[in-house]
Amino acid sequence: GENVEQHPSTLSVQEGDSAVIKCTYSDSASNYFPWYKQELGKRPQLIIDIRSNVGEKKDQRIAVTLNKTAKHFSLHITETQPEDSAVYFCAASTTGRRALTFGSGTRLQVQP
Amino acid sequence: NAGVMQNPRHLVRRRGQEARLRCSPMKGHSHVYWYRQLPEEGLKFMVYLQKENIIDESGMPKERFSAEFPKEGPSILRIQQVVRGDSAAYFCASSPQSSLMSSYEQYFGPGTRLTVT
């Protein structure tokens, strides 16, 4: 089955800096890659996603890139703010099997 | 426009009791997924259901766990004879019924935090 690895496990940046979180996946049939933000004690929130027919997608300060050949995708957050502090999860799924396989999460801390 | 709803939000059970977790999907959504999150860990898929059908239960433990999504009413995740290792947050997610790729977006409920004493 699918295996998703996520790095780093923790990331501390200064307010205004950029943050990058990377994930790799094992199943070449995976074609949907969402990113979720989870604050302490809260639900995972879908913040951005990308499909395998697209190499990059941007939404304001966040962007996601996908390299199908290397089977990895990344989340980029620019101009980080303290409210960006949370745990971020990447995930992958394939057409027909909608179950999401999640990475282990990255705890992002933005220092004011 | 209500999002995914789950109840109860917190549930305490003694070892050996039964736990019933409920999930109402977003309006217009007919696909329901259950995930389990252990403390300080990621989410693990358990089961995927549509109305009156279990589509994929590959992540569900073979014993003590069952799920249903009846024609009327919420989806239910049932854990019989709970053990301390069942203590976790259980999240439900839903997605719309469509063949479009946008239907793969899953929106999560607030979760049920189960504590087994």
d(CA B28, CA A14): 41
Rounded mean pLDDT, B81-103: 85
Query: CB distance A34–B106 less than 8 Å?
Result: yes
Which chain A residues are within 8 Å of B111, Cβ to Cβ?
43
- For residue B1, pLDDT beyond 70: no
The residue among B101, B102, B103, B113 with the most chain A CBs within 10 A of its CB, best to mutate, is: B101
Give the per-residue pLDDT at A22.
98
- C-alpha A4, offset from chain centre: 11
Q: pLDDT band at B85, cuts 50/70/90? A: very high
Q: pLDDT band at A105, cuts 50/70/90? A: very high
Rounded mean pLDDT, A70-80: 97
Give the per-residue pLDDT at B69.
96
Give the per-residue pLDDT at A52.
85
Rounded mean pLDDT, A28-47: 95
Question: Which residue(s) pair with A34 in the sheet?
Answer: A49
Taking alpha carbons only, the member of B83, B86, B89, B70 closest to residue B25 is B70
Query: CB distance A101–B106 less than 8 Å?
Result: no
Give the per-residue pLDDT at B96.
84
- For residue B103, pLDDT beyond 70: no
Minimal CA separation from B105 to chain A, in Å: 8
Q: Is the dihedral of CA A68, A110, A59, B24 positive or negative?
A: positive
Among chain A residues, CA nearest to B47: A99
Rounded mean pLDDT, B79-104: 86
Whole-number percent of chain B with pLDDT over 70: 94
Question: Mean pLDDT across chain A, nearest whole number?
Answer: 95
